[in-house]
Amino acid sequence: MALRIRMQRHGSAHAPVYRMVVTESTHRRDGRHVEILGNYNPKARGQDVELRLKLDRVEYWTGVGAQPSDTARTLINRARREAGLVASVPSPQPAKKAEAAAPAPAAEEAKAEEPVADTTTTEEAPAEAQAADAAAEEASEDKA
């Protein structure tokens, strides 16, 4: 049973009102739900509240594995900002980016190994310089 946090459309034509609900992913958009988490009125006027959510219940359901839809995630994050909470619901896309970023430290390690290889070549360079000096001394002895 995969749980989703998503929006149910209510209201009349040209005057939508949405409920944020927890429901099974296989249920219809306006079908059965487990719990109502709040309301969203995109056309709120005057003293009407645009967004009203039970953030403690949202935390509970996300904690037990309910996945919010993209729109629900956006509204939850907005409600958290308005309530003064900093934490947001992570989206699944950054997790993929984190996996892609994982090879980057390996690349950084490889880059870190390259300067080590360069230092060995610089250490070899004085040895080569010594060999060149020895060859120059032999050449000067031959002249003498």
Q: Beginning with the edge strand found earlier in the chain, give each strand of the sheet holding 35-40 in spatial order.
A: 51-53, 35-40, 15-24, 3-12, 67-68
Say whether both 85 and 111 belong to one domain.
no
Q: Are residues 59 and 86 in the same domain?
A: yes
Domain holding 36, by residue range, is: 3-93
Helix axes 92-101, 103-143, angle to 10 degrees: 20
For residues 27 and 85, state if they share a domain: yes
Residue 47 sits in a domain of what CATH number? 3.30.1320.10
In this predicted structure, the answer to whether residue 127 has a pLDDT above a threshold of 70 is no
Query: Which tens digit of pLDDT belongs to each residue from 39-79?
Result: 999 998 888 889 999 999 999 999 999 999 999 999 999 99
Q: Is the pTM above the cut of 0.75?
A: no
